[in-house]
């Protein structure tokens, strides 16, 4: 059964990846908005923002990476919604395929597409002056956090992809997730914010994730932020997975 699941997931993931390869504009579109924001904040607002960092692009990049993921998962919900409407799920059900492999194929495709977008954003940041002396272990830790964050948000995206009534509704859920980094330490230190906003910013998941990634890239002590970030990502992933699978079972029953 396990071998059957992995084989089916691999085949269906290949199908989804081929769709993306035929329309690479989705990855380009996903990367354009975060890159435009990075350009605007570094070259327009960067001189007026005091962060204590040597380079504002170094300070800004972790938050931009999270925004890249948040904008990219909208396409996951869209692709899943289109598959639901096209009747492809019913066709897969009539075949001897593992049922959950359909969802996992979309999730792995989202992961692959977002990794490409993240690499593009980092390359642009390097052209803008981003530098890091972090070693291989720190970069691997950053990659692990970003992959876990991507998986968590992707399983959130699966829910509207399965339940939305319209194409716009399937992808609109991502807008609050894109906005969330603005109420965090992604752009400015939280101690510059007024009381209620600061309290929210310091106790929401994006701040701990951004702080952990920023510390890893700067070779600074990560403290409790890394464990808080991992706990947030793992918790969101588990809850989103349970709700997504329940929605899927109701949809195909």
3-state class (DSSP) for residue 131: coil
Q: What is the pLDDT of residues 176-211, one digit of tens each?
A: 888 899 999 999 888 888 989 999 999 999 999 999
Q: Given this model, what pLDDT does residue 113 score?
A: 87
Q: Given this model, what pLDDT does residue 238 score?
A: 95
Q: Given this model, what pLDDT does residue 94 score?
A: 57
Alpha helices in 164-204 (DSSP H): 167-172, 174-179, 195-202
Measured CA to CA, the distance from residue 111 to residue 107 in angstroms comes to 6
- The C-alpha torsion from 160 through 162 and 167 to 168, rounded to 10°, is -10
Q: What DSSP designation does 42 have?
A: I
Name residue, tokens 């692009």. Answer: 57
Measured CA to CA, the distance from residue 250 to residue 245 in angstroms comes to 9
Q: What is the pLDDT of residues 98-130, one digit of tens each?
A: 566 778 888 888 888 889 899 999 999 999 989
Q: Output 3 or 78, whichever has higher pLDDT.
A: 78
Name residue, tokens 């980094």. Answer: 181
Q: What is the pLDDT of residues 210-248, one digit of tens each?
A: 999 999 998 888 888 899 999 999 999 999 999 998 888
Measured CA to CA, the distance from residue 154 to residue 167 in angstroms comes to 17
Name residue, tokens 């925004």. Answer: 67
Measured CA to CA, the distance from residue 190 to residue 82 in angstroms comes to 40
Measured CA to CA, the distance from residue 214 to residue 67 in angstroms comes to 15
Measured CA to CA, the distance from residue 52 to residue 218 in angstroms comes to 13
């Amino acid at each position: 059964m396990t071998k059957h699941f992995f084989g089916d997931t691999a085949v269906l993931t290949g199908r989804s990846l081929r769709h993306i390869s035929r329309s690479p504009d989705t990855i380009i579109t996903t990367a354009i908005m975060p890159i435009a924001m990075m350009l605007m904040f570094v070259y327009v607002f960067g001189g007026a923002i005091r962060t204590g960092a040597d380079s504002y692009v170094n300070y800004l990049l972790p938050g931009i990476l999270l925004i890249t993921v948040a904008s990219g998962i909208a396409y996951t919900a869209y692709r899943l919604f289109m598959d639901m409407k096209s009747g492809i799920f019913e066709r897969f059900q009539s075949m001897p395929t593992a049922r959950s492999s359909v969802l996992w194929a979309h999730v792995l495709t989202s992961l692959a597409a977002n990794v490409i977008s993240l690499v593009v954003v980092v390359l642009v940041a390097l052209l803008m002056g981003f530098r890091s002396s972090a070693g291989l272990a720190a970069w691997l830790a950053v990659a692990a956090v970003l992959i876990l964050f991507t998986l968590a948000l992707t399983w959130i995206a699966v829910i509207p992809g399965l339940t939305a009534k319209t194409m716009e509704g399937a992808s609109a859920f991502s807008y609050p997730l894109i906005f969330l980094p603005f109420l965090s330490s992604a752009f400015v230190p939280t101690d510059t914010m007024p009381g209620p906003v600061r309290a929210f910013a310091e106790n929401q998941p994006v701040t701990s994730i951004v702080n952990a990634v920023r510390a890893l890239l700067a070779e600074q002590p990560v403290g409790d932020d890394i464990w808080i970030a991992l706990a947030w990502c793992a918790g969101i992933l588990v809850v989103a997975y349970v709700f997504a699978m329940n929605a899927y079972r109701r949809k195909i029953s």
